[in-house]
Amino acid sequence: MPRPIDATHDPALRSWVESANQPDADFPIQNLPFGVFRRPGSSQARIGVAIGDQILDLVQCHGEGLLQELPMVVKDACLAPTLNLLMFLGREASSSLRQRLSDVLRSGAEIPSAANLLVAMSEAELLLPASMGNYTDFYASIFHATNVGKLFRPDHPLLPNYKYVPIAYHGRASSLVPSGTPIPRPNGQRKRPEEAEPSFGPTRSLDYELEVGFFVGQGNALGESISLNTAEDHIFGLCLVNDWSARDIQAWEYQPLGPFLSKSFATTLSPWVVTLEALAPFRCAAFSRPLEDPAPLPYLADAVNAEQGGIALTLEVYLRTAQMREQSLEPVRISRGSFQQMYWTIAQMLTHHSSNGCNLCPGDLLASGTVSGSEPGSQGCLLEITRRGSEPLQLPDGETRSFLLDGDEVIMRGYCEKPGFARIGFGECRGVIS
C-alpha cells in the first residue's frame, strides 16, 4: 500500500535553507532524502538529509536536542554510520523522522545555531547509504528485454517465462560504489563471432545500464514470504543505479547461468535515498499490459498494485567524453525515459524475491534492470541505442560512440514532477571510465 500524502508534501512549504526553494531544486523541503556523508576533514560517517545544496547533519540535530520528541530507537538510528538501523525500524519510524525534519527545516522554525546543522554538499564526501549485504538485479523492462533479446536471439527475443516471472540474477554487493567513484575498464574473456577462440583482455564493449534501485526496510524471516499487499511496507526508498556492463564478456559467459564477471566489477549508486514517503504524490498505475498478455499469477496481482503500484519517475542519461571535457562542453543528454513503463512494479519484484522463503534483510539492494521505454530515445543502455555497436551514436562535437571509451563520464538523473506538487529530484549517479 503506497504511503499517504500529508502536510510534508504541501507545495506551499518553504525552507529557511534558501537554495531548497529554487523551482528546479532536486532537494526541496518536500523531498528530504537520506544519505551518509563525511564532513570535510572528518573520518566519521554520519547520516544526513539533502536540502537544497546543503546537507542537514542528523548527529548535529540530535546534539542540539532537535530530535527530542522522537522515540529513543529512532534517535539512535540517526546516530549510526549507515541507514541500516533506520531501514530496519520500518515505515512508521522513517515517517515520524520525516515529519520532524520537515518541521525543523521549514521557514519560520525557530532553530538556534542553524548554521551549525548544515554542511555544503559540495564540500562533503558522500558515501554509500547503507551496508548492503545483498544485491539483486531484475530485468523488469519488457522493452529492454525485447530489444536485447533481438540482438542476441533474433528468432525468439522474449523467452516464454518473461511475462510470468520477474527475472533477476544475484549481483555482487562488494563492488557497489558511490557516485563519483572512477570505474576501471575490466578485463575478461571476450570472443568476437568471427574469432575461433576467446582471448583475455580489456573489454571492448563497455556499457552502462540506467536502473532504479530500491532498499529493503524491514525484512522477512527465513522461510516466510512477503505478500504483495504488504510489500511496500518492506521498502525504504529508491536511488539511481548504474549497472556497468561489459557486453563482450557478457555475451560469451552468460549461458547457461546468467551474468557473472561482465557485471560484478562495479555498480554505481546515487548517494541520496528518496523515501517512499517523498514519492507518495507521484504514484501511478502499474504498466498496463496488452490484452493478449497473461495476467500475473495471483500472488503477484492485486487491485492496489495495478492502480497505484507504478512510480512516475523521469530518468535521463548524460554523456561527457574526455574531448568534451577538454573543450568545456556540457554533458549531452542521450536518453530520457520513465519508470512508469516497467513491466513489473517494485512491490511485485520484492514479493517474488521472498516468495520461496528467501529472507530479505534491511539494507539489501534490489535494482529494476535497465529502464527502457517504447519510445525512440528512451533506451537505457548503449547496447540498445547503438544496436550492439552497429549504429554508433553521433555526439555534438563530432565524435561517435558504439560503447564507452576511457575518459567517458556517464551521468544519470531522475526527477518527479506533477501539477500541484513540488518537483523532487534524485540528484546524480556519476562515474568516469578510468
DSSP β-bridge partners for residue 394: 400
Minimum CB distance to Mn ion, residue 94 (Å): 27
Q: In angstroms, rounded to a whole number, what is the distance separating the alpha carbons of residues 200 and 213?
A: 31
Minimum CB distance to Mn ion, residue 369 (Å): 5
Closest CA to 248 of 146, 153, 389, 379: 389
Q: What is the DSSP letter of 379?
A: -
Closest CA to 217 of 128, 347, 319: 347
Taking the least distance from each CB to Mn ion, the nearer of 141 and 220 is 141
Minimum CB distance to Mn ion, residue 381 (Å): 8
Taking the least distance from each CB to Mn ion, the nearer of 57 and 137 is 137
Q: How far is CA 337 from CA 123, 203, 221, 312, 373, in A?
A: 31, 27, 36, 10, 6
Minimum CB distance to Mn ion, residue 388 (Å): 16
Note whether 234 and 228 are within 8 A (CB): no
Q: How far is CA 2 from CA 71, 88, 309, 361, in A?
A: 24, 18, 8, 20
Q: In angstroms, rounded to a whole number, what is the distance separating the alpha carbons of residues 333 and 318?
A: 4
Note whether 184 and 206 are within 8 A (CB): no
Taking the least distance from each CB to Mn ion, the nearer of 96 and 175 is 175
Taking the least distance from each CB to Mn ion, the nearer of 30 and 264 is 264
Torsion from C-alpha of 26, 6, 90, 238, nearest 10 degrees: -30
Residue 170 among the catalytic residues: no
Closest CA to 363 of 178, 172, 131: 131
Taking the least distance from each CB to Mn ion, the nearer of 82 and 250 is 250
Using DSSP, state whether 299 is helix, strand or coil: helix
Closest CA to 229 of 289, 299, 177, 173: 299
Q: In the numeric block, which cell numbers belong to residue 205?
A: 564493449
Closest CA to 174 of 235, 237, 240, 263: 263
Neighbours of 222 (CB within 10 A): 9
Taking the least distance from each CB to Mn ion, the nearer of 16 and 254 is 254
Minimum CB distance to Mn ion, residue 402 (Å): 19
Residues that bind Mn ion (CB under 5 A): 137, 209, 243
Q: Match 578510468 to its residue by C-alpha cell.
A: 434
Check 144, 234, 352, 353 and give the catalytic one.
144
Taking the least distance from each CB to Mn ion, the nearer of 26 and 248 is 248
Minimum CB distance to Mn ion, residue 260 (Å): 13
Minimum CB distance to Mn ion, residue 143 (Å): 14
* Residue, CB closest to Mn ion: 243
Q: What is the DSSP letter of 50?
A: E
The 3-state DSSP composition of the chain as helix, strand, coil percent (nearest 5) reads 25, 25, 50
Q: Among all residues, which ones are annotated catalytic? A: 144
